[in-house]
Structure 1
């Protein structure tokens, strides 16, 4: 490729777009209809990131060979542990899983509640496209 030459020398930055947009991978993907278990068109931006985050939370880490070893959560390893130990471990496991997606900048407002035999996790994902809330529930055991 021949570099473009401007009045002040070679052009080294891409034309158009901001620094944030050029450092983030495109997010255009297939829209998954989770209720009907089928593909229903395409989605982009914040909706695509939401879908990816939900999919990460629903996928067990190391369960499917198609995904890398960094994909998914190890939610089941923590369930059944003492609640004082489970709370910070769940926070760490889920935050690490979500932050594998370069479009997610931060996981904030993490709340872990135990109610009887269930545990519920909620947080806010801060992305380049905006923020959204996530929730996951499971059997706590102990």
Structure 2
């Protein structure tokens, strides 16, 4: 008699989710103020993806987050060439985002400020990140 400690499972019964959740808690000033699944939810998702380094936290999929830390210490010219690709790879993981374009670079005391437009299913928003 085979008495396995592992539960028996049939893989055909498992449902896999391949898109990000749309409805989310809205957070303003470190307080939850409600829920949304529109443009504000996408803006919040953009902010989160651009602030979480990819591969650093096991609670996030390896497809989630950015790899912009790879540009720290590199020449500004190199960072300006690579940043658009890395930002697009980061944000286009979200099914609600269809395009990222119009990149503008500004050298600041804090680093390289990158501003860009994000086209979503709810409209276009401006976003930025400092490298």
TM-score interval (norm. to shorter): 0.7 to 0.9
How many pairs are equivalent?
Answer: 113
Cα drift, residue 75 of structure 1: 1.4
Q: From 44, 49, 55, give the equivalent of 2:37.
A: 44
Give 2:22's aligned residue: 27
RMSD: 1.8
How do 1:121-136 residues align onto structure 2 when only pairs under 5 Å count?
A: 121-136=114-129
Give 2:6's aligned residue: none
TM-score after normalising by structure 2:
0.78
Range that drifts further, 79-88 or 97-106: 79-88
Q: Which runs of 5+ in 2 are unaligned?
A: 1-18
Q: Which runs of 5+ in 1 are unaligned?
A: 1-23
CA deviations 1:45-92 (Å, max 9, x no partner) are 111111101100011111110111111111111011011111111111
Range that drifts further, 106-115 or 60-69: 106-115
How do 1:1-142 residues align onto structure 2 when only pairs under 5 Å count?
A: 27-33=22-28, 35-36=29-30, 38-116=31-109, 118-138=111-131
CA deviations 1:8-44 (Å, max 9, x no partner) are xxxxxxxxxxxxxxxx8762211122x32x4221112
TM-score after normalising by structure 1:
0.73
1:40 counterpart SS class:
strand
